[in-house]
Structure 1
Amino acid sequence: MQPITDRPIRWGILATGGIAAAFTEDLAAVEGAVVHAVASRTEAAAREFAGRYGIPRAYGSWGELAADPEVDVVYVATPHSAHHEAAALLLEAGKAVLCEKPFTLNSGQGAELIATARKRELFLMEAMWTYLNPTVRRLTELVADGAIGEVRSVQAEFAFAGPTEPEHRLWDPALGGGALLDLGVYPVSFAQLLLGEPESVQAWASLTDRGVDANTAVLLGHAGGATALLHCSLVAQSGQRAAVHGTEGWIELERDFFHPTGFTLHREGRDPEPYRSAPPTGQGHGQGHGYGPEAAEVVRCLRAGLTESPYVPLDSTLAVMRTLDAVRERIGVRYPGE
């Protein structure tokens, strides 16, 4: 990709749901970014969204957005099951892509997208906002510097009592429903950020009568003996916390570990050391929803002519997808068409 240095980065938004709206609102605060177009499966939905946010162009098909020569990068916010189709269309049209998590339904689809992006030398990134969160970035720096010694265990949980209506997307296998892909991707991604890809994957889940997971536990085994104990659920409430345990101390992340504003470092013989960061642009307290850092990283990469972010590398994204595949194999979840 040629660096874009002489003008704002022009964004397209693909889909018009709640996450697309939140991202668009946060994008307004990102320097060097403008929203140029939005697309939906219906022109009416695209026009309503465009009117709400003052977006110049509204398209009633994904193909029209992909063909717009003035769009540099597209944010894909469709249901999980459409990520591969949408991103593949955009990459074939020569667009840079930021694709919501989970990257795809499975690692095979993910590998196809990555191969296309690399062949065409196009930017591609999963929208894993956790990896760009300033607090998480600081945590990984401390761990890399040996603040808690060698990491031996990671624990993370993401659970809430989900919607009760059976037709909701979270319960629909055709839309990639279930706790694992919607919520479990965060604990898995967090664990692999610190420990890398596991050597062993064990899992158990309770499944709905439609065949998606409602309550899932995962145990990962890593080289050298480190472990990760992870949980995701659509039928239980949790503190959504995480902890990293090392040979010389541990770090506890407060609620919402996947986009935190603080943690506490514990080391033997010292008082607890709290770390708090100001909410980044696009994260709570009047500063948006939390998508600002990932959007800013895309802008930075396109300015530099990079085809992937060093903070959300494609190989790491694919490694997470392989782990999710292994978990689904263990618990017996398979989506239509696989």
Structure 2
Amino acid sequence: MPLLPAPRLIDPAAVPALRWGVVGTGIADRFVHALHVHTGQRAVAVTARDADKTRAFADAHGIGRVHRSVADLVGDPEVDVVYVATPHPLHREQALAAIAAGKHVLIEKPIALTAADATEILAAGRAAGVLVAEAMWTRYLPQADVIRQVLAAGTLGKIDLVRADFGSLVPFDPTGRMFDPALGGGAMLDLGVYIVAFASSIIGPPSTIRAVGTLAPTGVDDSATIALKTDAGAQAALTTTFGAVTPVEATVFGSRGRLDVLAPFYGPTGLRLQLHGADAEMWHDDALPTVHDGLGYQATAFASFVGEGLVESPLHPHDEVVSVLATIDEVRRQIAAD
């Protein structure tokens, strides 16, 4: 009998077909493609800074309405949910505008620059009675559900350690988004959010945070090595960098064995379970043509939560969103102070 269970998937046809308004045209290109190809959700409006690029984006994805401003888009009565896909420093203002207009909001990761801003956004959503979620798409992948089932069954025994890495070679450009402090640059707010969020999903919030790293000439962090420990004693060893390509893998170690999340662990890939004294068991996710087609899973999940009248994701609750950013805040503080 296999120890890696089948994922429990949400039927895209069984959730409300929401009308999405899109703010930004970067990662939104992949998201809207996945939305239209793999779900029953539809993008119906878009706005972004560059009018020509926005019109081209709308034409490419069959989006009928191009708005001149965020205010116009969030005020559109034909929009049910706003997807905020702009640079991090704009998330707070744009999310609050959408919430004030009574819209549900999915906000690209990180949801904000700081834990304090995240708290403000999430509290506003709760007060308005709308669903607000961070677009941590990894949390909604089939393999994430398999992992949750493995942990709930105690298959790995007592969880002792989580490892995760995410490194990418990013040439230094002082004017580029990755290195510009005004644009929320730095490895931790770009790649690092994935590794911290993965550790959080396994061991919960840390009580101890230790970090070393390096700073780019612009002052943003461009690498970090992080050790986390919880009150229960579970630990995490996490690394991120702009200076090298790393395996981009994650592993959960327990008293009975290990569970490897294949590269790139943040997307739909696969799992390898190795228990002590047993043969390895593999599970592969090859249902989609590209990694980023997996973005559709979070859209379907989001729509299901709206249908249930929820104001936060049960798979990625508000407290955890804030906790992950609080960890990132502290890591960045320690690196800057070193």
Structures share fold, TM-score greater than 0.5 = yes
Instruction: Show the counterpart of 1:116.
Output: 124
Does residue 156 of the first structure (1) align with residue 164 of the second (2)?
Answer: yes
Within 5 Å, give how 1:223-242 maps onto structure 2: 223-242=231-250
**Aligned match of 1:274 in 275, 282, 299?**
282
What is the one-letter code of the residue matched to 1:326?
Answer: E
Bigger shift: residues 26-35 or 167-176: 26-35
For structure 2, the residue ranges without an aligned partner over 5 or more in a row are 1-13
Residues 41-80 of structure 1, C-alpha deviation per residue, up to 9 Å, x if partnerless?
A: 2433322211121111001211110110110001111011
- The SS at the match of 2:117 is helix
Gaps of 5+ in 1: 334-338
Deviation for aligned residue 1:167: 1.7
Matched, 1:147 2:151: no
Whole-Å Cα distance in 1 between the matches of residues 277 and 211 of structure 2? 37
Distance 2:15 2:145 in 1: 29
Partner of 2:45: 37
Match of 2:316 in 1: 312
> 1:41–1:62: 8 Å Cα contact kept in structure 2?
no
Match of 1:243 among 251, 256, 263: 251
Matches within 5 A, 1:22-61: 22-61=30-69
Q: TM-score, normalised by structure 2?
A: 0.92
Name the counterpart of 1:14.
23
Matched position secondary structure for 1:185: helix
Aligned to 2:10: none
1:217, distance to aligned residue in structure 2 (A): 0.7
Q: CA RMSD in A?
A: 1.7
* Letter of the 2:315 counterpart: Y
The match for 2:306 is 302
Instruction: Name the CA distance, whole Å, in 2 between partners of 1:7 and 1:140.
Output: 25
C-alpha distance in 2 between matches for 1:31 and 1:183: 27
Whether contact under 8 Å (2:163, 2:252) holds in the other structure is yes
**Aligned equivalents of 1:252, 1:286: Cα separation in 2:** 20
Correspondence 1:211 to 2:219: yes
* 8 Å contact from structure 2 (residues 186, 222) kept in 1: yes
Amino acid at match of 2:90: A
2:329 is the alignment partner of 1:325: yes
- Greater alpha carbon shift after TM alignment, 255-264 vs 178-187: 255-264
Aligned match of 1:253 = 261
CA distance in 1, matches of 2:132, 2:22: 15
SS in structure 2 at match of 1:29: helix
Mark the CA change 1:306 to 1:273 in structure 2 (over 3 Å): closer, same or farther.
same
**1:105 corresponds to:** 113
Q: More deviation in 8-17 or 193-202?
A: 8-17
Partner Cα distance (2:16, 2:255) in 1: 49
2:156 partner SS: coil
Q: Name the residue aligned to 1:336.
A: none
Mean Cα deviation higher: 178-187 or 299-308: 299-308
Instruction: State the secondary structure of the residue aligned to 2:294.
Output: coil
Distance 1:224 1:319 in 2: 17
Deviations, residues 21-59 of structure 1 (Å, cap 9, x unaligned): 111111102443111100112433322211121111001
Report the AA paired with residue 67 of structure 2. Answer: Y
Q: Which residue of 2 aligns with 1:291?
A: 295
Residues 78-118 of structure 1, C-alpha deviation per residue, up to 9 Å, x if partnerless?
01111111111111111100000011000010000011001
Q: 1:86 aligns with which of 83, 90, 94?
A: 94
Tell me if structure 2 keeps the 8 A contact 1:47–1:59: no
Taking the aligned partners of 1:245 and 1:287, their CA distance within structure 2 comes to: 25
Is contact 1:253–1:260 with CA below 8 Å preserved after alignment? no
- CA 1:166–1:25: 2 relative to 1, 3 Å: same
Deviation, structure 1 residue 7 = 6.7
Distance in 2 of aligned mates of 1:49 and 1:224: 48
Matched positions, count = 324
Aligned partners of 1:215 and 1:233 also within 8 Å = yes
Given that residues 42 and 61 in structure 1 are in contact (C-alpha distance below 8 angstroms), is that contact kept between their aligned partners in structure 2? no
- Partner SS state of residue 250, structure 1: strand
Rounded Cα–Cα distance in structure 2 between residues aligned with 1:207 and 1:94:
40
Cα distance in structure 2, aligned partners of 1:240 and 1:108: 29
Match of 1:177 among 156, 175, 185: 185
CA distance in 2, matches of 1:259, 1:314: 22
TM-score of the pair, normalised by structure 1: 0.92
Which whole-Å CA distance do the structure 2 matches of 1:241 and 1:277 have between them?
15
**Equivalent residue for 1:166?**
174
Conserved? CA contact 1:154–1:191, under 8 Å: yes
Distance of 1:201 and 1:8 partners within structure 2: 42
Is the partner of 2:218 in helix, strand or coil?
coil
**1:203-250 CA-partner distances (Å, limit 9, x unpaired):** 011101111011111110111211100001011111101110001111
